[in-house]
Amino acid sequence: MSNGAGAPPVFEARGVSYRYRGVAALDGLSMRVERGERVALIGANGSGKSTLIRVLAGLAFAESGQVSFLGEAVTQERLRDESFFFPFRRRVGVLFQNPDVQLFNTSVFDEVAFGPLQLGWPRDEIRAVVERTLDRMGIAHLRNRAPHRLSGGEKKRVALASVLVLDPEVLLLDEPTAALDPGTQSEVVRLLASWANGPRTVITATHDLDTLEEIADRCYVLERGRIAGEGSPMTVLHDVGLLTEAGLLRPQHHKHGRDVAQPHPHAHWGEV
């Protein structure tokens, strides 16, 4: 999907490296995401997906290389400038894998209202948009509940609502269906699928290959902090060698003949 002739990509990473506790989490990684794309970052645990989400979000910063948003470098210095900080935070929403990381208010209503309050929206507007978002996410009945007392699935919905309430142009989602019951997982997948061919740019870190074709137009496969492959969900899902190398497929041992077991990297999806 093109951003238009000469227009910069929404996000571009060029030669980005980042170390976490002395270990390379990103190692010379380069990638780009155009406006309106739904891009999946797939890889086994420890491949660098979550770190890349944090670097794109301006919550961690490359030790070398550069990340840009709409052609402008995302750096600590730029984020100290209110003229960049507030538009960037307004336009880019982030959902963490663990909702407890981003839920800290005393009620669900206050949690969802927090972002608009920080951006100085009028209180009547905040009340109206929060009520609409609670209804949309099916959590209006939880408005007065304390977030820390909710179930894992309810917490995930509240965290997502706290992001969507700002109607961001770009969403960075880290394992949005992790630790959800099947029903809630299906609802989140339907929401991600509904954004196809729309104006919103969505970057989803996941190891769930079963939903890839529904939630993404294009995929990057990460392995040890590098881009191991790229392509459409259909192309990537049929590249058994790539997925096996990236730790996303488990070789299956089958018997051929009497008492002979041989490994085959068949496409049995699942977390490694």
Mean pLDDT within 258-271: 44
The topology (CATH level 3) of 11-98+170-264 is Rossmann fold (3.40.50)
Helix 123-136 with 108-118: angle, nearest 10 deg = 130
Q: Which residue has the higher pLDDT, 202 or 194?
A: 202
Give residue limits of the domains in the chain. Answer: 11-98+170-264
Is the pLDDT confidence value at 186 over 60?
A: yes
What confidence category does residue 259 fall into, taking pLDDT thresholds of 50, 70 and 90? low
Q: Could you report the per-residue pLDDT of 91-114, keeping only the tens digit for each?
A: 999 999 888 888 999 999 999 999
∠ Cα 97 86 136 (to 5°): 50
